[in-house]
């Protein structure tokens, strides 16, 4: 498997590299279900069952990694299920994840998009915004040239570790 990555560090005062449970308490996030952006899925077709399973796997991996590495707890999305269904897909809407997160009482909104390319090439993008106002906190991308459950979960762990929770690069905010 070959990994190529691009970092799109967002603006924001939150530094995930040093997030911990503080006097004000741990941060919370509405980690929305990962979505597939595949041009081959026209007219409302759903991803193949293997990809649907992988979308669930990477969403679970993201929640777990944020909790373990950054002490960011995921909130229950249940109360906003109808609104989530209405607004999805989140990669097509502009700033619609933040109001959902805010309604759930979360500090952050987290969205994930998998863009399928030819065969075994895909991009995995995770975006974190503040629930109050939608200001971009972090955005991370990894390009994967493989297509198994392990490859997808590895990609998620990698983007969390090396993009979302990494210290800012020198000369960058």
Alpha-carbon gap, residue 125 to 140, rounded angstroms: 6
pLDDT in tens, 123-169: 999 999 999 999 999 999 999 888 899 999 999 999 999 999 887 64
pLDDT reported for residue 8: 31
Do the strands 72-74 and 27-31 form a parallel or antiparallel pair, or are they unpaired?
Answer: parallel
Mean pLDDT of 8-30: 48
pLDDT in tens, 62-88: 999 999 999 999 999 999 999 999 999
Q: Specify the DSSP class assigned to residue 13.
A: S
Domain ranges of the chain: 3-39+54-164
Alpha-carbon gap, residue 65 to 162, rounded angstroms: 12
pLDDT reported for residue 25: 60
pLDDT reported for residue 39: 78
Give me the chain's average pLDDT, please. 82
- The distance between the two most distant Cα atoms of the chain, rounded to a whole number of Å, is 49
For the cut 50, the answer to whether the pLDDT of residue 4 exceeds it is no
Crossing angle (nearest 10°) for helices 49-70 and 149-159: 30
Q: Specify the DSSP class assigned to residue 99.
A: H
Instruction: Please say whether the beta carbons of 164 and 137 come within 8 A.
Output: no
pTM: 0.81
pLDDT reported for residue 118: 72
pLDDT reported for residue 20: 35
pLDDT in tens, 91-117: 998 789 999 999 999 999 999 999 987
CATH of segment(s) 3-39+54-164 = 3.40.50.10610
Sign of torsion over alpha carbons 108, 94, 136, 16: positive
From the centroid of its chain, how far is CA 153? 12
């Amino acid at each position: 498997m070959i990994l190529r990555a691009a970092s799109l560090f967002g603006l924001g005062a939150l530094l995930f590299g040093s997030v911990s449970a503080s006097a004000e308490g741990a941060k919370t996030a509405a980690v929305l279900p990962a979505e597939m952006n595949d041009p081959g899925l026209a007219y409302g077709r759903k991803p193949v069952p293997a990809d649907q399973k992988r979308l669930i796997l990477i969403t679970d991996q993201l929640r777990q990694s944020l909790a373990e590495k950054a002490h960011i707890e995921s909130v229950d999305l249940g109360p906003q299920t109808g609104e989530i269904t209405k607004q999805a897909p989140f990669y097509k809407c502009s700033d619609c994840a933040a109001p959902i997160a805010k309604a759930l009482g979360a500090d952050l909104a987290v969205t994930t998009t998998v863009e399928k390319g030819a065969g075994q090439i895909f991009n995995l993008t995770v975006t974190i915004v503040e629930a109050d106002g939608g200001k971009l906190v972090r955005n991370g991308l990894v390009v994967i040239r493989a297509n198994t459950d392990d490859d997808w979960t590895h990609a998620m762990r990698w983007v969390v570790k090396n993009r979302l929770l990494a210290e800012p690069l020198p000369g960058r905010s």
